[in-house]
Amino acid sequence: VQGRARTPHSKAGRSPPPRRGTRELFQAYRESAWLRAVESRIANECASAVKLRLYNGPEDDDQREPVTREEPAYELMRLLRRPVRVASGQIMTARQRNKILALWYGLVGEAFLVKQRGPSGRVTGLVPLSPLWVRGTPTPSQRYYTVQVGDEPEKQIATGDMIPIVDLDAENPYG
């Protein structure tokens, strides 16, 4: 697979579908014992070894303090640690979510999280979304992600409801 980041959009104003080779890499992961052993081990380490801490202020501020549980910003930590219910109805633990995100990122250089909202509109969870399902990314003329899961109709997801985790193209990091 050449270049890891998607090109931003075509001349028609629509971003490209998943990069060529994404499906084949996922199939190779499923079928190749060596690839599975290596990527699974890395993903397991990422999922279990990462200890998250949230701080107020920029990284270079020696006086910054960790965010406390009472502060509104701590809600992000709760979301990252909270299990989520996925479309199939299954519960996905935070560790499982972190592992699959690490696998997707390790194999194809990108992964996505969709904000799950409750009836009041408040974010209640972060659901992982396969790079295979993201059919289009925002462009100047299209300010949303286009997602298609299996045979379901395409859906549009607002840019504010999607968190992309993308490895930038080293040759052209600005798109």
Per-residue model confidence (pLDDT) at position 163? 93
DSSP the chain: ---SSPPS--TTS----SPTTHHHHHHHHHH-HHHHHHHHHHHHHHHHH-----BSS-TT-TT--BPPTTSGGGHHHHHHHS-EE-TTS-EE-HHHHHHHHHHHHHHHSEEEEEEEE-TTS-EEEEEEE-GGGEEE--BTTB-EEEE--TTSPPEEEEGGGEEEEEPPPSS-TT-
Q: What is the pTM of this model?
A: 0.73
Which residues have a Cβ under 8 Å from the Cβ of 28 and sit 6 or more positions away? 35
* pLDDT band at residue 9 under the 50/70/90 scheme: very low
Structure tokens at 59: 């990284």
- Condensed to tens digits (0 to 9), the pLDDT of residues 38-57 reads 788 888 787 776 677 778 77
Structure tokens at 147: 């997602």
- Condensed to tens digits (0 to 9), the pLDDT of residues 122-159 reads 999 999 999 999 999 998 898 999 999 888 999 999 99
β-pairing, 110-117 vs 123-129, is antiparallel
- Condensed to tens digits (0 to 9), the pLDDT of residues 56-112 reads 777 788 888 888 888 877 888 888 888 998 877 899 998 889 888 989 988 888 999
Per-residue model confidence (pLDDT) at position 20? 61
